Every structure is written in structure tokens, then in C-alpha cells.
A and B are shown apart, each in its own frame.
Chain A
Amino acid sequence: MQRADKLSIGGQQFTSRLILGTGGVTSLDILEQIVRASAIELATVAMRRIDAKAKGSPLEVLKKLNIKILPNTAGCFTAAEAVLTAKMASEATQTNWIKLEVIADERTLLPDPIFLLEATEQLVNDGFVVLAYTNDDPVLAKRLAQAGAACIMPLGSPIGSGIGIRNPHNISLIVDDLKDLNVPVILDAGIGTASDAAFAMELGCDGILCASAITRAKDPPKMATAIALATEAGHSAYNAGRIPKRWYGNPSTPFEGKPDIV
């Protein structure tokens, strides 16, 4: 079995279509096991105040395993906060890639579309490769792409909810619109288990970003493998082309040539 084509973001190619969110990992050892089990090549990390008591860092583990670092602006509520966090992340990690996250409130964790677009425009203008975490809104997705986002990351459902793809029709619309603009779509947030990842990929997404479903699973490395395989399987199925849905049955064996039994 051959692997399908590669994922391309911001001019860089990745063999794995699964991006790891490191939120929720219980230890650096588990993080390493997850990375090895899933063969991911890109992982997102947050920026937080330095902890003098911390032993080791996710950065050390990811660098050791040759994983590309994708810093994020998790927990930012305004465009100004997100832009400053992105710049501090760039200074800390020496990358101009940023997963841009601007949330509206702590209860739903849904993206704030106004601040998100504003921050995207500013960061693109400052030379960042912006991977924009957004709502499953086709209009906003298109506006973000037109603003120069290198990748659009619509949610399937709220962060950490694990309730899968709530609006598959909108995800399909986003995929269709962004194909014309040649901007990849990564399904971000809401994945609960492997089938959700496969479903998102069958809708035509270019990849999956997954944190909680892996890091908070009973066996995180095992779930990491499952979601990586499902991501690949879903992508292959999308490329292979599913059969149309029918209201009634459609026999796979023709009735023609059937003998008369008397």
C-alpha cells in the first residue's frame, strides 16, 4: 500500500497529515510515546510564563524527535494579545509559523471572528505563516484565505468537546471554496476518536489537528496511532471517490442471467 500525496502548508511538505496538539499531555515521556506512535511531523505548542520548577520542556522533546514546532496563541482573547503572543513565540522558537487562535469566551472557546481576521491581516503583513483556527463558517474561511492565511483550520466542534464534526456540510463548502484558492484545510478541534478524523478527511480536508482526543485518551499512544491511520484512510477514501448515496438498494449482482427455478 502506497501513501497518498503529501500535505503542503506554506510551501513546506509533510508526509503525515496529522498535526499534534500538545495540550493535555500528562508528561514529556507520554508526549514522546505519542509522537513515535503517530509519526507526526508537526506539533503545536503554547506560550506560557516560565516555570522555574519545571523539569524539561516539550520543546526539548520535539526537537530531539526532529518535529517541526508550530507555536500557537492559545488562550488569547483579543487581536492585540494574539499578535504580541505570536511575536513572542517567534522570538522564542525562531519560526515565523503561528497557529492563530483568538477565542471569544472561556465557556465555548469558540473563535472570535472579528479579532481573528484582524490578527491574521496584521501577522501576514508582518511576514508570518498564519494557520488560522476558525469557526466552521465558509464565508469567514474564505476571508481569512484572502487575507493571506496559509492554512484554514475550521473546528468540527468546540475545543476539547470530542463531539466530532457538527456541521459536515459547512466543512465541505469550506473545502470546495479553498480548493479554488489553493489553501489547505485542516480540521481542528472536536475530534473525539478515530472515526471523526476519517470522516473529516472523507469530506476533503487536507489534514487533522488533534490534541485532547489523543492526549486524554485512556491509552494516548494507541489512540495516536489510531487517529493517524484514520486520517490517512479518510484521505485515501476521499481521493478514491465514494459511491453516491441512494434511497433504495442497488444490487451489486445483476438479476440478468439468473436461472428460472421451476
Chain B
Amino acid sequence: MVYTKKIPMCCTLNSKPPSSITITLNGKLVECFEKSNVRSILATFKGQIPTDGVAVGINNEIVPKSKWADVTVKEGDHVEVLTVAAGG
């Protein structure tokens, strides 16, 4: 089980904590906060946000790097995080 490490920006001290949702991240079911953005999902890898050589797709739609902070996940989303590997 993987949890996002930061509460999303949408949550303030005056509002109640966001509830958890389940998404599929690179083929594994993981739990994260509702409305977690792509950037916070990526933070679960290596403890830092990879940028070079990385692409993110949600439900077969590519999320450009410029939108990682804006696009959020919802219950049941399939998130793929790909990178360059030796092959071909």
C-alpha cells in the first residue's frame, strides 16, 4: 500500500481531511488522498519527483508535465508512470 506523503493543496486547516481513494498505479492497487495531483503521486517514487525521461498517463490519456500540478486522480483511475529503459 502506498500513501501520498503530502496533503493536497486543496486541504486547509479549516476543512476536514480528504478521504482516501484507491487507484491503480503501475498495475498495483494503491490508496491515496482524494484529489491528489499527479505531482504528489510521483512523489511516492524515489522520494522525489522524477521529471527527466518520465511520462504519465491516466486512463490511456497522457498528462503533460506542465499539467502535473493541476491534474488530480479519482477513484478507480489507472495511472501509468513510464520511463526510459534498455530495450528494443
Q: Is the CB of B87 within 8 A of A88?
A: no
Q: Is the CB of A91 within 8 A of B64?
A: yes
Q: Is the CB of A47 within 8 A of B64?
A: no
Chain A residues touching B, majority SS: mixed
Q: For B60, list chain A residues within 8 Å (CB).
A: 84
Q: Is the CB of A92 within 8 A of B82?
A: yes
> Within the complex, which residue of B27, B45, B52, B55 is in contact with A47, where a contact is CB–CB below 8 Å?
B55
Q: Which residue of B lies closest to A71 (CB)?
A: B84
Q: Report Cα–Cα, A50/B84, bound state, in Å.
A: 8
Q: Which residue of B lies closest to A46 (CB)?
A: B87
Q: Most chain-A CB neighbours within 10 Å: which of B55, B60, B80?
A: B55
Q: Report Cα–Cα, A137/B40, bound state, in Å.
A: 48
Flag A226-258 by CB within 8 Å of B: 1 or 0 each. Answer: 000000000000000000000000000000000
Interface size class of A (residues with CB under 8 A): 20 to 34
Flag B48-66 by CB within 8 Å of A: 1 or 0 each. Answer: 0010111111001010110
Q: Is the CB of A48 within 8 A of B53?
A: no
Flag B5-45 by CB within 8 Å of A: 1 or 0 each. Answer: 00000000000000000000011000000000000000001
What's the minimum C-beta distance from B41 to chain A, rounded to whole angstroms? 11
Q: Most chain-B CB neighbours within 10 Å: which of A22, A69, A75, A101?
A: A22
Flag A33-53 by CB within 8 Å of B: 1 or 0 each. Answer: 000000000001111111110
The number of residues on chain B lying at the interface, defined by a beta carbon within 8 Å of a beta carbon of chain A, is 24
From A4-12, A23-31, A115-123, A167-175, give the one contacting chain B.
A23-31
Asked if B1 lies at the interface with its beta carbon under 8 angstroms from chain A, I say no
Asked if A59 lies at the interface with its beta carbon under 8 angstroms from chain B, I say yes
Asked if A164 lies at the interface with its beta carbon under 8 angstroms from chain B, I say no
What's the minimum C-beta distance from B82 to chain A, rounded to whole angstroms? 5
Q: Report Cα–Cα, A51/B54, bound state, in Å.
A: 11
Q: Most chain-B CB neighbours within 10 Å: which of A21, A88, A93?
A: A88
> Within the complex, which residue of A50, A75, A88 is in contact with B50, where a contact is CB–CB below 8 Å?
A50
> Within the complex, which residue of A23, A71, A85, A92 is in contact with B86, where a contact is CB–CB below 8 Å?
A23
Asked if A211 lies at the interface with its beta carbon under 8 angstroms from chain B, I say yes
Q: Is the CB of B53 within 8 A of A92?
A: yes
Asked if A68 lies at the interface with its beta carbon under 8 angstroms from chain B, I say no
> Within the complex, which residue of A44, A49, A58, A92 is in contact with B27, where a contact is CB–CB below 8 Å?
A49
Q: Is the CB of A46 within 8 A of B80?
A: no
What's the minimum C-beta distance from B54 to chain A, rounded to whole angstroms? 6
Flag A156-199 by CB within 8 Å of B: 1 or 0 each. Answer: 00000000000000000000000000000000000000000000
Counting from the closest, the 9 A-B pairs by CB-CB distance are A46-B87, A72-B88, A92-B55, A88-B55, A74-B88, A91-B55, A48-B85, A22-B86, A59-B84
